[in-house]
């Protein structure tokens, strides 16, 4: 009995890393599949409705909200961009920051989609994050005659499915790029100043 128990424990010790590795690889594959599925759906829709969108470019915003938005964690993205000042904001201010920044990112992404002209997207091996619930999905955007542009999607799974919390384009973090300018705005004009600034950016985007 003791020998059998010892063999059972040894088996657990051997299999535990294999089980963990398998679940981790499955999670990475799941996140990559989500990114690929979402990108392909967005680009296929853009191609199918290109003439309609060319006549009325504002249609792209609705498509982005329907297809892409559900897979982004805008609260976490905003929290990362606001940085240390997030905890100083009231719950109402936090919601205003998230809503304002979300609209800025939607418009930025939508405008970039309008310039899409058939560039190839390659999906590279994903990488595990700092925690089991995190993963980085690596892609490259390729255009004939140009150097491939690496685009990494940092994702996390909080139990409700994989969501993007940062995008790194050519080694530049989306969240990190905004953090510096947001900090400057808050130091000069407070959190309400940043909320007003985001509102101004969105009004200009509608012009």
CATH of the domain at 23: 3.10.450.710
In this prediction, residue 13 carries a pLDDT of: 33
128: which residues sit within 8 A by CB, 6+ positions away?
A: 24, 28, 134, 135, 136
Determine the pLDDT at residue 28. 66
- CA–CA distance, 140 with 156 (Å, rounded to integer): 20
Q: Which residues contact 172 (CB under 8 A, 6 or more apart)?
A: none
What is the Cα–Cα distance from 190 to 184, expressed in whole angstroms? 9
Sort strands 134-142 and 120-123 into parallel, antiparallel or unpaired: antiparallel
SS3 sequence of 41-64: HHHHHHHHCHHHHHHCCCHHHHHH
Which two structure tokens, joined as six digits, stand for 111? 């405008």
- Identify which of 121, 124, 153 has the alpha carbon closest to the alpha carbon of residue 136: 153
In whole angstroms, how far apart are CA 45 and each of 61, 76, 143? 13, 28, 20
Taking the CA atoms of 95, 101, 102 and 104 in sequence, report the sign of the dihedral they define: positive
Q: What pLDDT shows up at residue 25? A: 52
Domain that holds residue 110: 2-205
- Tell me how far apart the terminal alpha carbons of the chain are, to the nearest angstrom: 78
- Residue 27: the pLDDT is 58
Give kind and range of the element (H or E) at residue 69: none
- How many domains are there within the chain? 1
Low-confidence ranges of the chain (pLDDT < 50): 1-24, 207
Q: Are strands 134-142 and 149-157 parallel, antiparallel or unpaired?
A: antiparallel
Q: What is the pTM of this model?
A: 0.80
For position 19, what pLDDT does the model report?
35
């Amino acid at each position: 009995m003791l020998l059998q128990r010892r063999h059972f424990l040894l088996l657990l010790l051997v299999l535990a890393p294999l089980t963990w590795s398998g679940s981790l690889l499955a999670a990475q594959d799941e996140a990559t599949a989500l990114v690929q599925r979402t990108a392909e759906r967005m680009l296929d829709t853009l191609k199918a409705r290109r003439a309609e969108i060319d006549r009325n470019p504002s249609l792209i915003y609705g498509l982005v909200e329907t297809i892409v938005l559900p897979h982004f964690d805008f609260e976490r993205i905003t929290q990362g961009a606001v940085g240390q000042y997030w905890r100083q904001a009231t719950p109402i201010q936090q919601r205003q920051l998230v809503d304002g920044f979300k609209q800025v990112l939607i418009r930025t992404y939508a405008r970039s989609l309008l310039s899409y002209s058939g560039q190839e997207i390659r999906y590279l091996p994903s990488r595990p994050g700092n925690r089991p619930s995190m993963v980085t999905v690596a892609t490259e955007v390729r255009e004939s005659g140009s150097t491939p542009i690496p685009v990494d999607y940092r994702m996390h799974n909080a139990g409700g499915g994989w969501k993007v919390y940062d995008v790194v384009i050519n080694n530049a973090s989306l969240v990190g790029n905004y953090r510096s300018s947001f900090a400057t705005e808050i130091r000069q004009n407070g959190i309400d100043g940043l909320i007003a600034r985001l509102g101004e950016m969105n009004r200009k985007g509608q012009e």
